[in-house]
Chain A
Amino acid sequence: SQTIHQWPATLVQPVGSPLSLECTVEGTSNPNLYWYRQAAGRGLQLLFYSVGIGQISSEVPQNLSASRPQDRQFILSSKKLLLSDSGFYLCAWSTGTMMQYFGPGTRLTVT
């Protein structure tokens, strides 16, 4: 069966510090991968999606970036965090079907 992992589960970082969140998927090949962010009390905002290794599409301009170094690995990064980057970050995957499967999320607090 397929599983999706995200780490860390929670993170507290100071403003201006770098960020690296990792997502890995097991049990499937060539998945579509997504990064979403959910601010407190708000809906989900799609940040990036990838249909293959090295292929990244950005939905919202921001100080975040994403990379896909391996087929089942998706990384969200920032060189300098802002207070507004606080939120719940979710990774998701899908295949040829139209269903997306979400990971457990990382709760980021920028102080």
Chain B
Amino acid sequence: DAKTTQPPSMDCAEGRAANLPCNHSTISGNEYVYWYRQIHSQGPQYIIHGLKNNETNEMASLIITEDRKSSTLILPHATLRDTAVYYCIVSRGNAGNMLTFGGGTRLMVKP
């Protein structure tokens, strides 16, 4: 699976949009981009995933560049409860659906 690069930390003001970038320049054509988040002392929570097209659900939006070498997770109106470590993962989703979690981005939402 391709490797991802994320900034180690970011701050965001409460109520503003949080834009979390991820680079995955070695992604291959059959690999998906997944985003998870982990609130302190809890298990990771699935947020969203995509292949080529932009995706949106009740939690977030995922913007994937046309060359698929990078993506951005957007939390449209960040709240204090969105403070967490956000993981960008690239995976083929094959047998076992293995996900490799890197260091992630620690997002701090401030009042």
Instruction: Spell out A's residues near B (CB within 8 Å).
Output: 32, 34, 36, 42-46, 49, 51, 57, 59, 88, 90, 92, 94, 98-105, 107
Contact = CB atoms under 8 A, between A and B. Distances in A.
A109 B98 CA distance: 26
Interface of B: 32, 34, 36, 41-46, 49, 87, 91, 93, 95-104
Contacts of B100: 46
Contact of B43 (A43, A51, A92, A98): A92
Interface SS majority for chain A: strand
A56 B52 CA distance: 32
Contacts of B97: 32, 94, 98, 100
Contact of B104 (A34, A43, A59, A102): A43
Most buried by A among B32, B34, B98, B104: B98
Contacts of B42: 104-105
Contact of A102 (B45, B49, B93, B96): B45
B46 A44 contact: no
A100 B46 contact: yes
Interface SS majority for chain B: loop
B32 A49 contact: no
Contact of B44 (A44, A46, A59): A44
Nearest to A44: B101
10 contacts: A32-B96, A43-B102, A44-B87, A46-B99, A46-B100, A51-B95, A98-B91, A99-B34, A99-B49, A100-B36
A59 B100 CA distance: 11
Contacts of B36: 100
A90 B43 contact: yes
Given A43-B87, A98-B34, A57 B45 contact: no
A57 B96 contact: yes
A90 B41 CA distance: 11
